[in-house]
């Protein structure tokens, strides 16, 4: 349908033999996303960066055969994920909301931190999202609620999927926008009278952030890292006068605490090291003491940010990271998974698990870590307003 409408989507194919998968990889290249034929909340979905990983994950997903084909698609790195929640009547969009994930695509939408209205997408991107959504609604002749997920890189917009139902972001955007999308959708489905929003109703002076709640402390030995399969067990929506206030409220509401002094940073690959450079500089300027694993500490020190080097879990040394965890030396842990080598996975897992087991706030996504650091360095916890939902009024 998308091809007929001239709408872009990531390359994908439903495949049932290794030869077909190899041919697809020759065209799309790595990384790829593998998903079984029947999937709920991203279960058994995996991103593969190499042939070895792909073979390992295919065994998990299903035996590749005619009875159990897998869907393989190209995986775009560094792409923003955008949600379009809307209600339509006979294929015409009645009301809509465009929100964005803080994390780049690759984190399940149920685990991602959602911002509404979207703050960091180009106007041109928002216009393309609206145009594409209207085309899809018309083609499917939708009467009722629907949600479309998009990938955006620069101004290039691709469709991930369209769900002909209410999404988990429906109640969130309804609350922030003060428009009950479900009431409108129900009225349309019952052929009852409904009101259309005034154009200016989309122009609001406050921001909502939806953060996810995780229960890794109760899941013995689970690796607390986010991926394409959903891990969260709940979520909290918060409203603020600006992005920092809304984000800080939401992060605290799901159990994070603002660090007092010591922060451990293990910043993963070169890209996430660069992404965390300015947030770490801000932490240093605000008087926080930074600790880092070897590569991270070297990178930060080389860039003029004083950082104490700690030893990996499998290294002997005075400042062994596991001993420091036992002594409750850290107030916040930022651990960005780097690659899938055995040592990296083992050490990274031990650090992440130790943070959870010692009840220390842990962030495993560079973009979310940067946003959280910016928020608590800009705004003190006591500066968050105690303000009821009714007090956020249209001017």
Distance CA 309, CA 255 (A): 28
Q: According to DSSP H, which parts of the chain are helical?
A: 2-5, 18-28, 51-61, 123-140, 170-177, 181-189, 243-253, 270-275, 277-285, 294-302, 321-326, 342-357, 366-378
Distance CA 102, CA 91 (A): 30
331, 360 in Cβ contact below 8 A? yes
Q: Compute the mean pLDDT over every residue in the chain, rounded to the nearest whole number.
A: 90
The dihedral sign for the CA sequence 56, 160, 166, 215: positive
pLDDT for residue 101: 97
Sequence-separated (6 or more) residues with CB below 8 Å from residue 338: 268, 269, 344, 348
pLDDT for residue 185: 97
pTM, entire model: 0.91
pLDDT for residue 298: 95
pLDDT for residue 268: 85
Q: Which residue has the higher pLDDT, 89 or 214?
A: 89
Distance CA 268, CA 270 (A): 7
Distance CA 295, CA 310 (A): 10
pLDDT of 341 higher than 60: no
Q: Residue 42 — very low, low, confident or very high, per pLDDT cuts 50/70/90?
A: low
pLDDT above 90 covers a percentage of the chain that reads: 68
Task: Give the residue-averaged pLDDT of 207-220.
Answer: 91
DSSP code of residue 238: E
CB-based burial, 20-57: b 16+ in 10 Å, e otherwise = bbeebbeebeebbbbbbeeeeebebbbbbeeeebbeeb
pLDDT tens, position by position, 273-311: 999 999 999 999 999 999 999 999 999 999 999 999 999
pLDDT of 65 higher than 70: no
pLDDT of 64 higher than 50: no
pLDDT for residue 132: 98
Q: Residue 62 — very low, low, confident or very high, per pLDDT cuts 50/70/90?
A: low
pLDDT of 334 higher than 60: yes
Cα angle, residue 272 at apex, residues 268 and 274 outer, rounded to 5°: 120
Distance CA 292, CA 273 (A): 11
pLDDT for residue 263: 97
Selection from 148, 91, 99 nearest residue 119 by Cα:
99
Selection from 83, 77, 38 nearest residue 61 by Cα:
38
pLDDT of 340 higher than 60: no
9, 159 in Cβ contact below 8 A? yes
pLDDT of 235 higher than 90: yes
Q: Residue 219 — very low, low, confident or very high, per pLDDT cuts 50/70/90?
A: confident
Task: Give the residue-averaged pLDDT of 78-86.
Answer: 95
pLDDT of 127 higher than 90: yes
The dihedral sign for the CA sequence 127, 128, 132, 135: positive
pLDDT for residue 58: 75
pLDDT for residue 252: 96
pLDDT of 232 higher than 70: yes
Task: Give the residue-averaged pLDDT of 64-92.
Answer: 87
- Residue 237 pairs in a beta bridge with 210
Task: Give the residue-averaged pLDDT of 93-113.
Answer: 93
The pairing of beta strand 207-213 with beta strand 114-116: antiparallel
pLDDT tens, position by position, 273-283: 999 999 999 99
pLDDT for residue 201: 65
133, 96 in Cβ contact below 8 A? yes
Q: Residue 224 — very low, low, confident or very high, per pLDDT cuts 50/70/90?
A: confident
Q: Residue 316 — very low, low, confident or very high, per pLDDT cuts 50/70/90?
A: confident
Task: Give the residue-averaged pLDDT of 257-266.
Answer: 96
Task: Give the residue-averaged pLDDT of 12-31.
Answer: 88
pLDDT above 70 covers a percentage of the chain that reads: 92
Distance CA 200, CA 183 (A): 20
Residue 138 Cα distances to 141, 167, 317, angstroms = 5, 19, 64
pLDDT for residue 67: 66
pLDDT for residue 38: 61
Distance CA 239, CA 135 (A): 32
Task: Give the residue-averaged pLDDT of 46-51.
Answer: 84
pLDDT tens, position by position, 137-184: 999 999 999 999 999 998 899 999 999 999 989 999 999 999 999 999
Distance CA 3, CA 208 (A): 34
- Residue 332 pairs in a beta bridge with 263
């Amino acid at each position: 349908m998308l091809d007929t409408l001239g709408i872009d989507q990531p390359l994908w194919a439903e495949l049932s033999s290794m030869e077909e998968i190899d041919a697809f990889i020759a065209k799309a290249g790595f990384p790829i996303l593998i998903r079984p034929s029947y999937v709920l909340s991203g279960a058994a979905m995996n991103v593969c960066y190499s042939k070895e990983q792909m073979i390992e994950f295919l065994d998990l997903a299903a035996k590749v055969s005619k009875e159990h084909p897998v869907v393989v698609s190209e995986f775009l790195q560094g792409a923003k994920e955008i949600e379009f929640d809307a209600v339509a009547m006979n294929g015409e969009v009645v009301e809509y909301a465009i929100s964005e994930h803080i994390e780049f695509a690759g984190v399940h939408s149920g685990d991602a931190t959602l911002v509404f209205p979207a703050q960091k997408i180009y106007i041109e991107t928002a216009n393309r999202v609206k145009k594409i959504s209207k085309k899809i609604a018309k083609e499917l002749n939708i009467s009722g609620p629907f949600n479309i997920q998009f990938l955006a890189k620069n101004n290039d917009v691709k469709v991930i999927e369209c769900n002909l139902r209410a999404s988990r972001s429906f109640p969130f955007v309804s609350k922030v926008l003060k428009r009950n999308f479900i009431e409108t959708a129900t009225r349309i489905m019952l052929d009852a009278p409904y009101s259309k929003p005034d154009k200016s109703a989309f122009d609001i002076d406050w921001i909502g952030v939806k953060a996810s709640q995780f229960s890794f402390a109760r899941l013995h030995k689970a690796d607390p890292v986010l991926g394409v399969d959903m891990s969260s067990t709940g979520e909290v929506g918060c409203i603020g006068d600006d992005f920092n206030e809304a984000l800080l409220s939401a992060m605290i509401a799901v159990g994070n605490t603002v660090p007092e002094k010591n922060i451990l940073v293990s910043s993963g690959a070169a890209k996430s090291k660069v992404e965390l450079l300015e947030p770490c500089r801000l932490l240093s300027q605000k008087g926080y003491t930074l600790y880092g694993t070897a590569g991270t500490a070297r990178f930060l020190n080389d860039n003029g940010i004083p950082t104490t080097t700690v030893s990996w879990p499998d290294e002997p040394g005075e400042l062994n990271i596991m001993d420091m965890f036992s002594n409750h030396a850290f107030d916040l842990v930022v651990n960005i998974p780097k690659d899938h080598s055995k040592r990296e996975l083992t050490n990274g897992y031990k650090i992440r698990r130790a943070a959870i087991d010692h009840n220390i706030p842990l962030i495993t996504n560079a973009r979310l870590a940067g946003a959280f650091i910016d928020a608590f360095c800009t705004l003190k916890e006591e500066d968050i307003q105690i303000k009821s939902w009714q007090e956020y009024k249209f001017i």
